[in-house]
Structure 1
Amino acid sequence: MKRQKRIIYLSVALVALLLLGGYAVGHLKEGSFFGLGGEGSKQANDSPKGSENGKPPVVVESSESVKRRAALKKDLEQGLFLLVNKENSVSRDYKPEDLTAVKYFAPDRPEQGRYLRAKAADAFHELSEAAAAEGYEIIVTTAYRSYGFQETLYSNYVKTHGQAEADTFSAQPGKSEHQTGLAADVSSPSVQYQLTRDYIDTPEGKWLNDNAYKFGFIIRFPKGKEDITGYVYEPWHIRYVGKTAAKEIFDEGLTLEEYVEKEI
């Protein structure tokens, strides 16, 4: 009798162990035991790459990116990205307060056109001196123009060429970059200090095209971008935007319009 009871107890214990083992194995497959395998592991593996607990990854900005952003912010605050074109104008009485005489200026041109904003003037002096060090003379023929001066100039072009043609190479008053004090027309003795598209074929014109950005200037009306700028190609017309933007515009082959839309 005792033997039979012992067998019954052992049988019950064995069944209990089997049931418990099956329960444990089932939960191990589901990944609920100690976090191993199964669904719990799948959820962790399905989390976005680089994230933790489903949270977005922390993006650490590089020092170069921080410097770039700071430089662009400073240049923006100083008005270097002021966009003046056929769609954006300045008022009749707009005149920068920091206009400074340019040292390297064509002697036979009106004196009122030898001024640039201080930062642009300093940058042009560096550009002109760097060119001279390599044997090239690049000087300003006209820089700042008042609203009234541009009004007279544009009116004369319209009388001579008609408005449709004049609008392809001359700005209406209030829509000229020259009024910002950030733009200048430059030339060299190789073209008798004239403004001509042949300038790009001269050593000075090529040097300017390849190096202006190093001093914060861009070729404002580049070839092939007439539909964006609204003006024909002018290899002599440079615009100061600061070194950071100038390099990016040069490297990416952009106009100021495209850059402002993209970055500012």
Structure 2
Amino acid sequence: MTPRRPGPRMLIALAAAGVLVLGVGAWALGAVLPPDSAPVRAALTARPAPAASPSAIPISTPTAPAFDKRANSIDDPSSIWVVVNKSRPLNPQTYVPADLVQPPVANIHDQPVRHVVSDALAAMFAAAKSGAGLSLTLQSGYRSYDMQVNDYNGDVAAHGRAYADSDTARPGHSEHQTGLAVDISAASGRCSLDACFGQTPEGQWLAANAWRFGFLLRYPQGKEAVTGFTYEPWHFRYVGIPLSTELHDTGVTTLEEFFGVPGGETYSG
């Protein structure tokens, strides 16, 4: 049986839709319609739309979520983000941490720290030893309100109130009372509690690496007007790895600037 050729109406519909039927093609169109007719020209010139090249397809790159500055309290004295300075005393001022422990590191004055600080401190001291051959010692950890009274009054008696206020926190305003602050020295004792500690291998290692363990160099050089205290390259504050990493990555060096809270060199009361 001879196949039936498609009629004009069918060919017009196929041509208008841009469909070229194999086996019928241009010959069939030409056999039924004039070669220069619109349907024939449409069928002969119709081309499928080019596929989009991979490079032309937009790719959405996921962005990291913004750091949540409200994840922890900066007012609660038990929070690892609490901001304590001359404008922001502890509340209550006689606060005592509930989870103080003795850290498993060389500890000159046998002062405890918060449990979370103990683990981070041990890891940091071990890394300094294994990675750089440096031996570190804990000079000071938690100091109670009463201990801070003695330290502050002793500094006032020895150097006057103006000097003491730049060097030693008043009772109720000390980070050491939170159990989150530590003073660190070289095991050799070189430049202990002195600005020259920042130039020692131990001080330089801590400045470059403490953030990896959740610590912040709390009183950096040149930020006295912000923190209220002179440069202390031995004083590190535990804030946790998420915050210490964010501070490191953004280049912000003080808690006051990061959280937008007051600090300054003058006590609030």
Same fold per superposition (TM over 0.5) = yes
Q: Which segments of 5 or more consecutive residues in structure 2 lack a partner in the other structure?
A: 1-60, 262-269
| 2:187 alignment counterpart | 189
1:131 to 112, 128, 131: 128
Q: Is the 8 A contact 1:141 1:193 kept in 2?
A: no
CA distance in 2 between partners of 1:224 and 1:207 (Å): 20
CA RMSD of aligned residues (A): 2.4
Trace 1:135-174 onto structure 2 (pairs within 5 A). Answer: 135-174=133-172
% identical equivalent positions:
37
Deviation at 1:248, TM superposition (A): 2.2
Deviation at 1:115, TM superposition (A): 1.2
Give CA-to-partner distance per residue, 1:203-227, whole Å, 9 cap, x none: 1110000000000000000000000
Q: Is the 8 A contact 1:75 1:241 kept in 2?
A: no
Deviation at 1:195, TM superposition (A): 0.9
Q: Is the 8 A contact 1:222 1:234 kept in 2?
A: yes
Deviation at 1:74, TM superposition (A): 5.7
For 1:257, give the aligned amino acid: E
CA distance in 2 between partners of 1:223 and 1:260 (Å): 19
Give CA-to-partner distance per residue, 1:139-194, whole Å, 9 cap, x none: 21111000000000000000000000110010000000000010000001343472
| 2:79 alignment counterpart | 79
| 1:233 alignment counterpart | 231
Q: Is the 8 A contact 2:102 2:112 kept in 1?
A: yes
Q: Which segments of 5 or more consecutive residues in structure 1 lack a partner in the other structure?
A: 1-59
CA distance in 2 between partners of 1:248 and 1:89 (Å): 25
| 1:258 alignment counterpart | 257
CA distance in 2 between partners of 1:201 and 1:61 (Å): 41
| 2:175 alignment counterpart | 177
CA distance in 2 between partners of 1:192 and 1:223 (Å): 20
| 1:104 alignment counterpart | 105
Distance 1:193 1:232, change over 3 A: closer
Deviation at 1:61, TM superposition (A): 7.2
Trace 1:13-92 onto structure 2 (pairs within 5 A). Answer: 62=63, 64-65=64-65, 68-69=67-68, 73=71, 79-90=79-90, 91-92=92-93
Q: Is the 8 A contact 2:93 2:172 kept in 1?
A: yes
More helix by share: 1
SS in 1 for 2:176: helix
Q: Is the 8 A contact 1:102 1:125 kept in 2?
A: yes
Give CA-to-partner distance per residue, 1:212-257, whole Å, 9 cap, x none: 0000000000000000001000000000111121122233132011
For 1:123, give the aligned amino acid: A
Distance 1:172 1:184, change over 3 A: same
| 1:3 alignment counterpart | none
| 1:44 alignment counterpart | none
Q: Is the 8 A contact 2:80 2:238 kept in 1?
A: yes
CA distance in 2 between partners of 1:129 and 1:216 (Å): 15
Report the TM-score when normalising by structure 1: 0.69
| 2:244 alignment counterpart | 246
Runs of 4+ displaced beyond 6 Å: 75-78
